[in-house]
Structure 1
Amino acid sequence: MPRLQFEMVDHTGREVGGEDFRGKVVLLYFGYTHCPDVCPLTLAQLHGIMRELGADAEAARILFVSVDPARDDPDTMRAYVEAFDPRAVGLTGSARATEALAKRYRTAFSRDPGPARPEAGGYEVSHSASIFLFDRAGRPRLIAVPTAPREDILHDLRLLIGEEPA
């Protein structure tokens, strides 16, 4: 898995890259704000983990990358991520930037036309659901799945936070 490297727009409208998160342990997750199931459940789980970390949570950041940039502009991303965790950062960008970042981390997604919830804009997005963990130097360290026991992710996150920054 490659190092944490990207150029996207965060939920405040600011251009950011992987280097902006050096010094933090990063939990990178791809999804979209209209997701009816796995995204809100995963972000709620990650928020619970951050809450359990207490003061140590300041050493970590959740990065939520939208795979639906057509609907997920910075304002939409801000409202969504802030509903889960104040340390979460929503990332969006052009379709090309999103595809390149997803490809970098071998994350699959596709827009599924057809019957969908009207509030979802008439389509859903199928996507893989891995959580990529990076150490403070941006090195990849672990891939977790949302169904992993919360205690396991919490344990691994504590180990990464406790490591000396490189």
Structure 2
Amino acid sequence: MTRRSMTGRRAMRACLGTCLSAALLGMAGASLAAPLCQTQTQGSHTSKLCIEQTPFKHDYYTLWVDDAPVFMLPDDYVENISLTHTVPEDDSNEFPLSRQGMHSVTITGGCRPLVESQGNGNDAVSVETGRVCSFVWGQQALVKDMRFRFE
């Protein structure tokens, strides 16, 4: 019985397959991290805001109001938003907050970055360490000064 030793090329292929599988599993695990979520009640409405973070990709912000999803936006477009809806005159299926007696209703607000300087002198860099979020639907505040801290 002859025994073959692994040549450099075969060893490299074996390592490459194993290393690639481990890297892909690691990336999949990183993208499946639990979102950062907070809830807040303003008046009779409860809002939940979640941030889904994936390393080296955009963060996504999802707003629910009274258990109904309202929007999902990437971090680049959630800083200052204005979403306007024209309320139809017929008996259509509307969010309760869209029925504020106006012809149109607008959701405004955003999640502005919290930035801290890290390092000293010429080595100092600005780093986003979190977000502060506030949203209003028509005349009703949904989220007020909700703070998220990033690790």
Per the shorter chain, which TM-score range? under 0.3
TM-score of the aligned structures, taking structure 2 as reference length: 0.27
Q: Which has the higher contact order (CA 8 A, sep 6+)?
A: 1
Relative to its length, the structure with more strand (as a share) is: 2
Highest CA radius of gyration, 1 or 2?
A: 2
